[in-house]
Chain A
Amino acid sequence: MTERLWNILTDSFLKILVPGLKMTIPLTVISFALGMVIALLVAMVQVAEVPGLKQLSRFYVWIIRGTPLLVQLYVVFYGLPRLGILIDPFPAAVIVFSVSVGAYDSETMRAAIESVSKGQIEAGYCVGMSYPQIMRRIVLPQAFRTAFPPLSNSLIGLVKDTSLAANITVLEMFMATQRIVARTYEPFALYLEVALIYLIFCTVLTKVQSVCEKKLAKYGKR
C-alpha cells in the first residue's frame, strides 16, 4: 500500500467514525426506540382484535412493507414539501425509519405474543387478574424473550439501513465517506473502510445480543 493511501485511510478514520457516533448511532437508537413503541401498539391492537384499529394496523403494515425504504425517504423529504410540509433531514429520517421498524417488528411482536400459551392467560383470569395485568406481567415478558433474537436482527439491519439517509442529506457515516472519496478519489479503500466501521458497530451489537439472551434465559425453556 502506498504511503499516500495509508495517510488517507488513517486521516479519514476519525472523520468517518465521528459522524458515525454523532449521527448513525443516534439515528439508529431513536428510530428503533420509537419503532418498538409503534410495533408494540400495532401488535397489541391486532392481538386484542380492537375493531377498526386492527384493520388500520394491517393496512399500515401492508403499505410500509410493500414499498422500498429509499422511496419512503424520498417521499417524505422531497415529496412532502409539495404539500407545504417541510421536515429537516434528521427528523425526516427518524420518521421514516421508525415507521418502517414499527411495521416489520409489529409482525415479530404479534407472533411472539401469540406464541404464549392460551392456558396461561386463562390461569391469569382464574387467579383474578385483568386482561391488561395478564398482558403486562405474564404475556409480554415471555413474548419479549421470544422476540429478542428477531428484534436484534432488525436493530442490526437498521444500523446499516441508516446509510440510506445519505440520500436525504443526513450527514451520517456513509455521506461523510462519500465526501472524502470525492476529494481524494480513493473509492475502493474508503468504501471498504466505512464497511469495516459498520461491521464493528454490528459486531458490538451481536455481542450485546448474546449477553442479553443469556440473561433472558433465566427461566429456562418451555
Chain B
Amino acid sequence: MIEFENINKVYGENWVLRNVNLRIEKGDVVAVLGPSGSGKTTMLRCMNFLEKADIGSLTFDGVEYDLHGISKKNVAAIRKKTGFVFQNYNLFLNKTALQNVTEGLTVARKMPKEAAIEKAKAALDRVGLSERYDFYPSQLSGGQQQRVGIARALVTDPEIIYFDEPTSALDPELIGEVLQVMKRLANDGITMIVVTHELSFARDVSDRVVFMENGEILKDVPSKEFFENPGDERIRSFLKSLSA
C-alpha cells in the first residue's frame, strides 16, 4: 500500500540513510528500533517530507513519487492522508486541546466547524481526554499533551500515522498511558510506523520490527522472530543494553 524505495540522505560527509526500503501494508504496525544516531528519526522525517531525501521514491495509493523532486502540491496532498506524532508533542500553544485537534479539519480540510468539533471530541474521547477539551497545552501533563498529539494525528482518518519516539520525552510514570492509547489504535487496525525505544511495545503490539544501524536497515522481520531469534550480534547487544 505504501512503499518507500532506496531512500538516501547525506549531511555533508555523513551518510545518514543508505538504501532504505520499506513496504507497509494496510493495518501494519511497524516498530523501528536501533541505537541513537542510527537514522530512525531521519527516516521517518524523510517519509513525511520534514526532511528532504537526496534520493528515494515513494509509492502511495498506487502513484509513484520521487522523494527528492516531489512538488509542494503533492507533498501537501500526501500529508493530508498521513498523521505525524512528535517526540516533543509540538502542540499549538495558543490553542486548546480541542482547537489543536479541529485545526486540521476546519483550516486544512475546510470541514464545517460543528462537524469538526464533533469529530475532534470523538478523537479526544478515544485517547481518554474527554475531560480536557478546553485545556491549553500548558495546563496538561506531558502524557496528556502527547495524547492530544495522537488525537490530532488521528482525527483526519489518515492512511498511516508516523510516531517519532512518542514516549521519549515523557516522565517514566506517564509512558504507560500513551503506550496504552497506541496499543488500542493498533488493535483498531490503524496503520502505523513507530520509532521507539520501548521494547515492550515492539514485542507485544507491533507486527514487525525494523532494526536500523548506521543509516541502514539491518533487519525487517515479524516481531516474534526478532525477539526469539535476533541472530546478528549487533542486535543482541542492542537488546541487552536496553533491557539491562
Contact = CB atoms under 8 A, between A and B. Distances in A.
Which residue, of A127, A129, A138, has the highest number of chain B Cβ atoms within 10 A?
A: A127
A4 interface: no
B83 interface: yes
B209 to A, nearest CB: 25
B113 interface: no
B138 A128 contact: no
Interface residues of B, number: 29
A167 interface: no
Contact of B90 (A117, A129, A220, A221): A117
Given A122-B50, A126-B153, A128-B104, A219 B94 contact: yes
Contacts, number: 75
B136 interface: yes
A128 B50 CA distance: 13
A127 B139 CA distance: 22
Interface string B76-92: 10011011101010111
A123 B82 CA distance: 12
Interface of A: 117, 119-120, 122-130, 133, 137-138, 141-142, 145, 218-222
Given A125-B79, A219-B138, A221-B138, A142 B107 contact: no
Contacts of A142: 93-94
Contact of A128 (B76, B86, B149): B76
Contacts of B84: 122-123, 126
Contacts of B152: 123, 127
Interface of B: 48, 50, 76, 79-80, 82-84, 86, 88, 90-95, 103-104, 107-109, 136-139, 149, 152-153, 156
B90 A122 contact: yes
A126 B93 contact: no
Contact of B48 (A124, A126, A129, A130): A126
Contacts of B156: 127-128
Contacts of B48: 126
B79 A120 contact: no
B86 A123 contact: yes
Nearest to A221: B138
A128 to B, nearest CB: 3
B90 A127 contact: no
B104 A129 contact: yes
A167 to B, nearest CB: 43
A141 B93 CA distance: 10
A137 B107 contact: yes
B147 to A, nearest CB: 15
Nearest to A117: B90
A122 B82 CA distance: 13
A219 to B, nearest CB: 4
A133 B103 CA distance: 10
Given A119-B88, A128-B109, A222-B93, 18 more contacts: A119-B90, A120-B91, A122-B84, A123-B84, A123-B91, A123-B149, A126-B83, A126-B153, A127-B83, A127-B152, A128-B79, A129-B103, A130-B108, A133-B107, A137-B103, A142-B94, A218-B136, A219-B138
B107 A129 contact: yes
Contact of A123 (B90, B107, B138): B90
Contacts of A117: 90
A130 B79 CA distance: 11
